[in-house]
Amino acid sequence: MLKHILKEPSALRAPWEALVASLDDAGLTETLVEELAELEALKALPEGLHPVVEAYLDTLPGYREGDRSRAAEQHRLRWELWQGLAMVVDAADLAALGLSAEDPSDG
Amino acid sequence: MASAWLDEQQLAVLDAMHRAGCAPHDPRAIAFDGVRHRFRVAGDAPGSRNGWLILYADRIPSGAFGSWKTGRSETWSAQPWREASAAERRAWRRQWAEIQVRRAAEQRARHDRARARAAKLWERARPFVEARHPYLVAKQAPAVGLRQMKDRLVAPVRDLDGTLHSLAFIGPDGAKRFLKDGAVEGHCHVLGEPQGAKTLLLCEGYATGASLHRASGWPVVVGFNAGNLPPVAARLRRRYPDATLIVAGDDDPRTPGNPGKTYAEQAARAVSGSVVLPDFTGLDSGAAPTDFNDLHVLGGLPRIRAQLLAHRAAQSPMRLPPTSMAPARESGRSSAAPSVPATDFSPRAARSLAMANPRPRPTRRGDEGGGRGDGRRGRGGGASRNLYQEVTDRMIALIENGAAPWRRPWDRPRHPGVPALPFNAATGKPYQGINILLLLASGPGFADPRWCGYQQAQARGWQVAAGARGASVYFFKRLEIDADPDAEPPLDDDGRPLRRAIPLLRRHTVFHASQIEGIPTLEEAYGPTDAPLAHAWDRDAHLEALLRRSGARIVHGGVEAFYRPGTDSIHLPPRERFPASGGYYGVAFHELGHWTGHETRLNRPWCFDRHAPEYAREELRAELASAFLGAELGVHHDLDEHAAYLAMYLELLRQDNKEIFRAAKDAQGIADLLLDRHPEWRLEQGACVRRTEPLPGADSRARDDPDPPAVTPVAIPAPATDAPPPEPNPVAPVAPSSPPFSWVVAALDEARRPEADDSELGQLSRRIEAAFAGASRRAPAGAPAQPAADRLMPNG
């Protein structure tokens, strides 16, 4: 799934695809698509999905170290990318186009 | 034995496919192998492969089949559902789910490929459409947002975020076709700017849309075909919940089922809209007219306009008639969607209904106008929307509607210490580049430049007003990824895994201060308006000082203003030719913007061909910089006479969806340089020198550092009165971290002591000032024009 939108397929595709495929199998993707943006929602999924959820959470930067805020933010970014709400941009464009970094308190 | 068994199942499924109207031309296409097959449907043209099937040879054979041509699909099982055991039903459901997932993935892949093809073709298409294109001539329609490939017109098929999904081609004879495999359902072509519009029209065809747009001036959404009206209407309603949606349907009673009218009514019914159909009463209907373009050609635009206005006036804002069509009206035929129960279908009522059946997820009061707050469903696995295109399309629509944000009249906030340009009320950070333009386009004006995100407001105890519609701004954030997820990541010196960071551009929604309840007023935060302004640049002496401080060589004479790169000099008409000093400074600072492009300063490319894109690029930057400077300095540059440039800007933006980002960034660089706020450069003797000291009085890191530290609030300038300072307000917004005009000190000192400047320029400037002191006469009509050779970079 992410291979369509991310040029770094090996980095994210496997854990995220596994999770989404499991959700698809359980018929949950469509009904929970917005809720999935929240890290906490993943933990509330049915018990049968816990192994794949745990495997996914383990891939999130900051999760193993207990930095839940960072993990939640990185998960949100993956979700937005998957949803097509965020766009990968060329690093060179940041300066060339005058793009601003997001303030941590923006929201 | 096995073969006989299969033959039996093949016959069974063939029979079912025959009943569904999608039996294969060659029955050998039926295979129970769990693989999806495409085949030619019996009766379809040779070479076509519209049919599909996937069949499993499980204990109970089952599967699905259908036709892409008709859109029909069916599941099939060798055993009737009612006879199946619970386990068999579960297995069957799972098979069916797998089929659905596979089909969806295949369709997404086809759409993805078509989207890529569409982008390439759109780039290759000529942006200039022949005004005498036979189709446009026959339809009397302008080309709004179209391009041309050979003799075919090309219309973009986009979603409401501006992402291009497909193309529609229109031949000289009106023959239409879509790009193969391109997604059209729910997508459209928009004429005009729907954002903020009270009334939105939805119609089928491009020519119909162009006629409706020309006649009414309202935004018109073209759905391309009748069947696409309901899904497009649904998306419009979600995006613009408060707009009055009118479906301008085609009406062809000669076609069985009258699909144009039927789908228009279906669309309107689903979104609490209304239907208006063209009324040809009294016109020559020998050619069997059906749509509003026919009405345009036969009866003229005023007739369409009258019909639309009458229809809108007749619509009750709160209630639509039940169950039956509204009576035909004298000036047009209007109908509410039939078969609706007698109830309130207004958007307000729809929202109430939604509130009565809340989603489990907490809802926000303000409408974020996009992203997760607008009710759009996700499309996981789909391609990312192109945010560059989204912004560019918005700017194009604004320009086309005469609402270019940098051409709006401005007025600076009158409270001391308040910056003129948008800034975040919670962090005090000024918005940068493209975000400035977007907020100028969205805000109520310059009187209050404060904006704030929803969560930021909540964190401060403020509340976004219910129903408030936010404005979009764009920031980037870095997604961290492992270089190789299958290998242990390398560690940094502290033993933490090293990861790559990919920048992602994201859309945020912010709300204007006027939409936020509980936010301190400007007076509460910054003091009364009658306090002395620390940056009162609208006083001529200060403007003059700033102009002089730039080091620019300014020559007065003639009747035209321009910058001449060869001599690196700004040429201005004498001040006496300007009706007011503000006009003089407006022009002077605009030319000063061009002056910054010299190779010794910001080094932008020059072009002397007025018809070249490079010329328009430079002019766009100077215009934007004029707006930024004008807001800060309180001077206005009259751009009315330069409306012709807008067409060139439109072409620039259509050619390159990053151009408006670059232009806004460059313009900010121009303004920052002249205001001595540029993070890298400062002016010294009229040339750029790299800044070695921090920005005067400012934490320069707050402006461009990708990971800025917490912003240290800057003290609000105290009013120079005897009044005691106000009590600190714990929830007051922090003052902007951008320097509140610390550079004012140097220039003000200079203004107070003009005699201190004994340079040649200073002496010249004083001579000019003395010569024209007090003069403010209008430039005489018919004054001789500057020689053409001097019109290098005109005042534009």
B627 and B775 belong to one structural domain: yes
The H-or-E segment that residue A52 falls in is: helix A50-58
* Residue written as token pair 């067409």: B647
Q: Assign A31 a pLDDT band (cuts: 50, 70, 90).
A: low
- The answer to whether the CB atoms of B377 and A37 lie below 8 A apart is no
Reference B134, options B168, B174, B169, B167; nearest CA is: B174
Last residue of some domain: B526, B557, B586? B526
Using CA of residue A20, residue A26, residue A32, residue A38, what is the dihedral sign? negative
Six-digit token string for B634: 């309180």
Using CA of residue B437, residue B441, residue B444, residue B447, what is the dihedral sign? positive
Q: Which residue has the higher pLDDT, B466 or B712?
A: B466
B195 and B322 belong to one structural domain: yes
How many CB atoms neighbour CB B473 within 10 A? 26
**Which B-chain residues 500-539 have CB contacts (< 8 A) with chain A?**
500, 502-508
Reference B290, options B301, B279, B274, B300; nearest CA is: B279
> ipTM of this model?
0.89
Question: Mean pLDDT, chain B, as a whole number?
Answer: 74
Residues in chain B closer than 8 A to A91 (CB atoms): 503
What local confidence, expressed as pLDDT, does residue B446 receive?
A: 63
- The answer to whether the CB atoms of A8 and B459 lie below 8 A apart is no
Separation of alpha carbons B552 and B544, rounded Å = 12
User: Does B694 contact A at CB distance below 8 Å?
Assistant: no
Q: What is the pLDDT of residues B84-142, one digit of tens each?
A: 777 777 777 676 666 666 777 777 888 999 999 999 999 999 887 887 899 999 999 88
Last residue of some domain: B50, B68, B84? B84
B418 and B346 belong to one structural domain: no
Candidates B361, B476, B508, B624, partner chain A, best to mutate (most A CBs within 10 A): B476
Q: How far B180 CA lies from chain A's nearest CA (Å)?
A: 19
Residues in chain B closer than 8 A to A75 (CB atoms): none
Strands B681-684 and B687-690: antiparallel
Six-digit token string for B747: 């220039």
B26 and B68 belong to one structural domain: yes
Q: What is the DSSP string of B481-500?
A: E-S-TTSPPPB-TTSPBP-E
B211 and B345 belong to one structural domain: yes
> Over the Cα atoms of chain B, what is R_g?
32
Classify residue B535: in a domain, yes or no: no
The pTM of this model reads 0.53
List of E strands, B186-323: 189-191, 199-203, 220-222, 244-248, 274-277
* Residue written as token pair 């069985």: B256
Q: What is the pLDDT of residues B500-558, one digit of tens each?
A: 788 999 999 999 999 999 999 888 887 776 655 544 445 677 788 888 889 999 999 98
User: Does B383 contact A at CB distance below 8 Å?
Assistant: yes
Range in B609-618, B657-666, B667-676 the model is least confident about: B609-618
CB of B423 closer than 8 Å to CB of B443? no
Six-digit token string for B785: 């024009």
B479 and B571 belong to one structural domain: no
B521 and B615 belong to one structural domain: no
CA-nearest residue to B711 within chain A is: A103
B594 and B648 belong to one structural domain: yes
First CA to last CA across chain B, in angstroms?
Answer: 87
Candidates B498, B505, B624, B734, partner chain A, best to mutate (most A CBs within 10 A): B505
Classify residue B227: in a domain, yes or no: yes
A14 residue type, one letter: A
**Which range of residues forms the domain containing residue B477?**
387-526
Q: What is the pLDDT of residues B191-243, one digit of tens each?
A: 988 888 888 999 999 999 999 998 888 899 999 989 899 999 989 988 888 88
Rounded to 5 degrees, what are φ and ψ at B385? -70, 155
B520 and B564 belong to one structural domain: no
Beta bridge partners, B245, equal B200
Q: How far A44 CA lies from chain B's nearest CA (Å)?
A: 14
Q: How far A26 CA lies from chain B's nearest CA (Å)?
A: 9
The H-or-E segment that residue B683 falls in is: strand B681-684
- The answer to whether the CB atoms of A81 and B384 lie below 8 A apart is yes
Classify residue B764: in a domain, yes or no: yes
B572 and B514 belong to one structural domain: no
* For residue B41, pLDDT beyond 60: yes
Separation of alpha carbons B589 and B548, rounded Å = 11
**Total domain count, chain B:** 4
Residues in chain A closer than 8 A to B97 (CB atoms): 24-25, 27
Reference B770, options B754, B782, B758, B756; nearest CA is: B754
The H-or-E segment that residue B37 falls in is: strand B37-39
Candidates A32, A38, A83, partner chain B, best to mutate (most B CBs within 10 A): A83
Q: How far A2 CA lies from chain B's nearest CA (Å)?
A: 6
- Angle between helix axes B259-270 and B229-239 (nearest 10 degrees) is 30
Candidates B384, B454, B604, B701, partner chain A, best to mutate (most A CBs within 10 A): B384
B597 and B632 belong to one structural domain: yes
Q: What is the pLDDT of residues A49-106, one digit of tens each?
A: 888 888 889 888 888 889 988 999 999 888 888 777 888 898 899 999 999 888 766 5
B758 and B625 belong to one structural domain: yes
User: Does B712 contact A at CB distance below 8 Å?
Assistant: no
Separation of alpha carbons B554 and B635, rounded Å = 18
CA-nearest residue to A79 within chain B is: B380
Q: Which residue has the higher pLDDT, B385 or B511?
A: B511
Classify residue B165: in a domain, yes or no: no
Q: How far A40 CA lies from chain B's nearest CA (Å)?
A: 13
